[in-house]
Structure 1
Amino acid sequence: MVPTDVPSADRVVVGFDGSGPALRALDHAAEEALRRNVALEVVCGWPWGLHGSKRGTEPREQTERERPGEAITPNEAQTLYRAGRAVTDAAVERVASRHSDLRTIPHLTTEPAARALLRAGRAAALTVVGTRGHGGFTGLLLGSVGLRVAAHCTRPLTVVRGEAREPHGAVLVGIASEADADAVRFGFQEAHRRGASLKVLHAWQYPAVPGVLPSAELYWEGTDQQRRCEAAVPAFATAVLREEYPDVEVHTESVYEGAARALVEASTRADVLVLAAHRPRHSLGLQLGPVTHAVLHHAHCPVTLVPVA
């Protein structure tokens, strides 16, 4: 049951199963909750994968779609509950030992991982997941539960990527066009909360025309014109927000390079990378573009997706 005593968007939600990546996600989520002055909700699923069949087989990992083929006994249910509760309690204790003033809400559920996180995330300022997991969140792998949540979340989602390192004091936003305005605003807010600088990066490539071989002079003239137009994209996107957030140091850059490669390389010097997640309406299946997929798999820092209608 999802707690209902916290106002809408007045919490940070984190998926937790006790694994190493989940610990990093928990620590990151606690810091985000403190920055926002909101509660932290720790979502943990029952460790169904620990339950073997009655034929005496060894416990096996289990996908999100699976459920035990045979009904479990009350004793087995109690054992599973205690195991899940132990994981949740360990998370709460870890947060309390580091941030005694942070309100933490334990949420133990039997729902599939992605569904539980999406449901809890509807009332959250931010949802946080690690790159992979085990136990109750067996599918919490980048490419499985994490990608499902990324494809369908309605509120901002952070995937905690990269190795633990000293902060750079920088927030990076990747922008393709003015349609990414929500991500740029989130980037300003995040930089303001962190007391960090903000870099808005726009990557582009000059479109080739099949079957047409322009002269070198015409090609470079066209490219130079295109460069000026592309350089205006991040400058225009940040113009109004600079006035709203005068305390944020802003840098804009337009590079002639593939977007995924440029963003992954720039992420080595950032504390968080922010991207807009555009999704077509009434579309089935995963709805993330190739650049987003590449960044989620290879970025060197946590990645925050901001859903855009």
Structure 2
Amino acid sequence: MTHNDVVVGVDGTLSSTRALDWAAGEAIRRGAELRLVCAASDRDEAAPILGAAVARVHERHPGLPVRTVAAEGGAVRELARQSADAALTVVGTRGMGRAAGLLLGSVSLRLSRRVRGPLLVVRGDHPCDKGREVVLGLEDDTDERAAVYAFEEARRRGAHLRVLHSWSHRHVTPALPPLVPTEGRRRDPATSYERVEEAVPRFALAALRERYADVPVKAVTVRTSAPEALLESTREAGLVVVGSHHRTSPVAPHHTQVAPVLLRRAHCPVVVVPAA
């Protein structure tokens, strides 16, 4: 095994076939080996599914190296294990086969919480092409790994990178009138907060802009919820990249909402990158 492999979960369904085609394209783009994983209650059930998947890959990409893994048990557990030494793990959005049901509706969401490396969930009807924009949903400085992945992916695809930093106007308690008059113009707390928020992408991306100087970047701050802004961007994007957050603090509930919403409703494939 190498850390350059592209892993894909297959279960014989149409959705997993689309994931297989995407994964093959990703492996070619990286010059990597393609690792096909099928989890089933009995290993014998996985053999015909893997055989059909290998035949499809060889027919479409004769020179692509392919390896298969048949595992007993649940798809989420096995794919999470396989992701530990993979450059990318790819799954579809639905699975209805007998082979441990690669998605039974929510494998992508459960896997996003356990995956050890970048997870690509194939959604939408966009072709796996180079022309479409890569979108990065940036929340805070814990998204560094997601940002690096987005820059590298934009470079691989020869695409523009759009960075979306979203925030909703928060309630700002009005300042009490000073007992002693102050000179000069008083700063509006809301305006000051807004300036800080808008500066986040600029400072967070400074080093990456320099490292990936060949990647055209546009950073945008939008005044709406992060899921809403990113969902709209996926209508025309080729790929959207977000970090995986598992915080449950009541003061920052928005951190847990972006990835699940995109995995259910995005119009293009979604990459979820675990935070360091």
The answer to whether the superposition gives a TM-score over 0.5 is yes
Task: Give the match for residue 72 of structure 2.
Answer: 110
Task: Give the match for residue 197 of structure 2.
Answer: 230
SS in 2 for 1:105: strand
SS in 2 for 1:231: helix
Alignment of 1:143-154 (within 5 A): 143=106, 145-154=107-116
Within 2, Cα distance between the matches of 1:280 and 1:169? Answer: 32
Task: Give the match for residue 264 of structure 1.
Answer: 231
Alignment of 1:1-309 (within 5 A): 6-7=1-2, 9-46=3-40, 48=41, 81=44, 83-133=45-95, 134-143=97-106, 145-165=107-127, 167=129, 168-209=131-172, 221-279=188-246, 289-309=256-276
- In the superposition, relative to structure 1, how do residues 142 and 184 fare at CA in structure 2: closer, same or farther (>3 Å)? farther
Within 2, Cα distance between the matches of 1:38 and 1:223? Answer: 49
SS in 2 for 1:232: helix
- What's the C-alpha RMSD, in Å, of the aligned pairs? 2.6
Residue 136 of structure 1: how far off its partner (Å): 0.5
Residue 161 of structure 1: how far off its partner (Å): 1.1
Within 1, Cα distance between the matches of 2:157 and 2:105? Answer: 26
The question of whether the paired residues in 1 share the 8 Å contact of 2:22 and 2:122 is answered with yes
Q: What percent of counterpart residues are identical?
A: 39
Cα offsets for 1:271-300 (capped at 9, x unmatched) = 11111112359xxxxxx8122211111111
Which residue identity does 1:239 align to in structure 2? A
Within 2, Cα distance between the matches of 1:155 and 1:173? Answer: 17
TM-score, with length taken from structure 2:
0.87
Cα offsets for 1:242-261 (capped at 9, x unmatched) = 22112111111001001110
Residue 158 of structure 1: how far off its partner (Å): 0.9
Within 2, Cα distance between the matches of 1:169 and 1:120? Answer: 29
SS in 1 for 2:162: strand
Question: Which runs of 4 or more aligned residues in structure 1 lie more than 3 Å from their structure 2 counterparts after TM superposition?
Answer: 164-168, 220-224
TM-score, with length taken from structure 1:
0.78
SS in 2 for 1:190: helix
Within 2, Cα distance between the matches of 1:45 and 1:180? Answer: 31
Residue 213 of structure 1: how far off its partner (Å): 10
Task: Give the match for residue 54 of structure 1.
Answer: none
The question of whether the paired residues in 2 share the 8 Å contact of 1:184 and 1:237 is answered with no
Within 1, Cα distance between the matches of 2:203 and 2:171? Answer: 26
Within 1, Cα distance between the matches of 2:162 and 2:198? Answer: 14
The question of whether the paired residues in 1 share the 8 Å contact of 2:25 and 2:128 is answered with no
The question of whether the paired residues in 2 share the 8 Å contact of 1:142 and 1:297 is answered with no
Q: Relative to structure 2, which stretch is displaced further, 15-24 or 239-248?
A: 239-248
